[in-house]
């Protein structure tokens, strides 16, 4: 059996596609996601914060203070564009001639003086990626106006600014999270990690499974192999072991690359990002680096039976298929079968309990998230490991049974 195993591995290492899917892709995916996407989002945010925004005011005469605030301070980087009619601003925004427009209500001054809210309409294109950042910049810029008007009101009723603030908010709900940084970050990032790892495991198994099953059938080497005095269950197990190895290798490389990104390359990279961005990204990386070796080992242990499930399921399908193309057609439903339990695990309210611990894929996804957060219940880990291993064993038995059948091996 070992002879078959090592021969299959040797052959796979001579195949470029396998090397791409099992080594290159898993190694690069974490740096791409963690560093590449972070850089991209930081760059977009930085650009949105410093670029000069063209805007228009409709009804500026009703509230001249607004124009003064936005145009007198050059550091705010707003550039006013003259517009004739309020109707035309929508067109200008959608044509990217201006980024936003402020439409001032006719009665704004009266409403403010009467103690009501004076209304300024913020018109923008919500489909723009940076619309939220632009809204924040405008809101921050007119903050001084809001404060000035508020202070006038407090003064008119004989209150200081502090008393006024207390007056407007008789009860204040102050948020204080008991979760430490890692737990809090784990809740946000922890759902993404199993998603990546499980899909990497699947893609690492997919191509070798097709190659070792239907690929051999099509190339005529499977029949040659069946003529050797090696029991068929040994052939199945050797093939399964190779696919399991590639799947697990993919996951292993992803986790190693994750560890390297968070501990070595990440900090170096973050330092080159500029003060504000590097502070927040640095905090994320610092928190990520608190994931211990034991945690990484636990994640590995969860992914072992998952890789076994993928290996046996994909090999069964591959052995059954008549052609490479037919096998590829079966891969889409398999991806969906893997995606659905993964999506379940990120639904609100789905927590790792005894019921979810027995649902394959979902359980591992939830467990990795909990490990990442540092809140895993070890009893659950045992249940997950046992149930997932059982499923992997059953699928391997099915694959072995499949492999004994002439109708499957010689479907052509």
Partner 1 sequence: MLEVKNLMKRFRLDNKTIKENKKKSKEMLDRREQGHWFNAVVDVSFSCESGEVLGLLGPNGAGKTTSLRMLSTALQPTSGQIVINGDDVVADPLAMRKRIGFLSGTTSLYHRLTVRENVQYFGRLHGMNEDLLETEIKKVFDLLDIHSFADKKADSLSTGMKQRANIARTVIHQPEVIVLDEPTTGLDVISAKTILDFIESYKGSDVPVVFSTHHLHEVEKLCDRVVLINEGTTQFNGTLDDFRRVSGTGNLYDVFVKLVDEKEVA
Size of the site for partner 1 (CB under 8 A): 22
C-beta of 211 vs 370, nearer to partner 1: 211
What is the smallest separation between the CB atom of 132 and partner 1, expressed in angstroms? 52
Q: Does 224 bind partner 1 (CB under 8 A)?
A: yes
| CA dist., res. 326 & res. 215, Å (int) | 11
The pattern of x and - marking residues 180 through 219 that bind partner 1 according to CB under 8 A reads: ---------------------------------------x
What is the smallest separation between the CB atom of 244 and partner 1, expressed in angstroms? 20
C-beta of 10 vs 293, nearer to partner 1: 10
**Residue 336: how many other CB atoms lie within 10 Å:** 9
| CA dist., res. 27 & res. 184, Å (int) | 27
What is the smallest separation between the CB atom of 224 and partner 1, expressed in angstroms? 4
Q: Does 406 bind partner 1 (CB under 8 A)?
A: yes
| CA dist., res. 50 & res. 67, Å (int) | 20
What is the smallest separation between the CB atom of 343 and partner 1, expressed in angstroms? 35
Q: Does 229 bind partner 1 (CB under 8 A)?
A: yes
Helix (H, G, I), strand (E, B) or coil at 57: strand
C-beta of 212 vs 261, nearer to partner 1: 212
C-beta of 200 vs 212, nearer to partner 1: 212
Q: Does 36 bind partner 1 (CB under 8 A)?
A: no
Q: Is residue 256 exposed (0-12), middle (13-18) or buried (19+ Cβ within 10 Å)?
A: middle
C-beta of 57 vs 236, nearer to partner 1: 236
Give yes or no for a contact between 53 and 78, defined as CB atoms under 8 angstroms apart: yes
C-alpha distances out from residue 201 to 253, 318, 326, 338, 376, Å: 10, 17, 22, 11, 22
Q: Is residue 349 exposed (0-12), middle (13-18) or buried (19+ Cβ within 10 Å)?
A: exposed
Question: Rule CB under 8 A: which residues touch partner 1?
Answer: 3-4, 7, 10-11, 14-15, 219-221, 223-231, 406-407, 410
């Amino acid at each position: 059996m070992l002879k078959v195993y090592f021969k299959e591995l040797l052959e796979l290492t001579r195949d470029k596609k396998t090397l791409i899917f099992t080594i290159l892709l898993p190694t690069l995916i974490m740096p791409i996601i963690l560093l590449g996407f972070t850089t991209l989002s930081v760059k977009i945010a930085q650009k949105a914060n410093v670029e000069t925004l063209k805007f228009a005011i409709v009804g500026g005469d009703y509230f001249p203070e607004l124009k003064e605030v936005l145009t007198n301070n050059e550091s705010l980087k707003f550039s006013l564009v003259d517009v004739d009619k309020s109707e035309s601003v929508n067109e200008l925004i959608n044509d990217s001639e201006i980024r936003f427009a402020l439409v001032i209500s006719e009665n704004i001054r009266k409403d403010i003086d009467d103690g009501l809210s004076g209304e300024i309409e913020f018109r923008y294109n919500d489909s723009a990626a940076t619309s939220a950042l632009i809204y924040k910049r405008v809101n921050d810029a007119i903050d001084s106006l809001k404060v000035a008007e508020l202070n006038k009101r407090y003064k008119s009723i004989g209150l200081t600014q502090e008393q006024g603030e207390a007056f407007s908010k008789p009860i204040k709900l102050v948020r204080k999270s008991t979760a430490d940084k890692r737990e809090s970050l784990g809740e946000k990032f922890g759902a993404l990690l199993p998603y990546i790892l499980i899909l990497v495991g699947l893609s690492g198994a997919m191509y070798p499974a097709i190659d070792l099953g239907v690929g051999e059938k099509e190339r005529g080497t499977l029949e040659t192999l069946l003529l050797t005095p090696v029991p068929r269950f040994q052939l199945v197990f050797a093939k399964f072991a190779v696919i399991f190895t590639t799947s697990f290798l993919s996951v292993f490389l992803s986790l190693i690359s994750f560890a390297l990104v968070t501990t070595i390359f990440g900090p170096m990279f973050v330092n080159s990002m500029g003060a504000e961005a590097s502070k927040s990204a640095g905090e994320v990386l610092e928190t990520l680096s608190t994931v211990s070796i034991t945690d990484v080992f636990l994640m590995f242990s969860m992914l072992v039976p998952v890789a076994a499930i993928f290996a046996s399921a994909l090999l069964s399908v591959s052995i059954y298929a008549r052609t490479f193309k037919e096998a590829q057609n079966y891969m889409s439903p398999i991806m969906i079968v893997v995606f659905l339990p993964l999506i379940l695990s990120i639904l609100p309210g789905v927590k790792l309990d005894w019921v979810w611990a027995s649902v394959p894929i979902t359980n591992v996804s939830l467990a990795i998230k909990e490990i990442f957060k540092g809140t895993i219940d070890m009893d659950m880990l045992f249940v997950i490991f046992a149930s997932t291993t059982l499923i992997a064993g059953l699928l391997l038995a099915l694959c072995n049974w499949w492999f004994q059948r002439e109708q499957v091996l010689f479907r052509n």
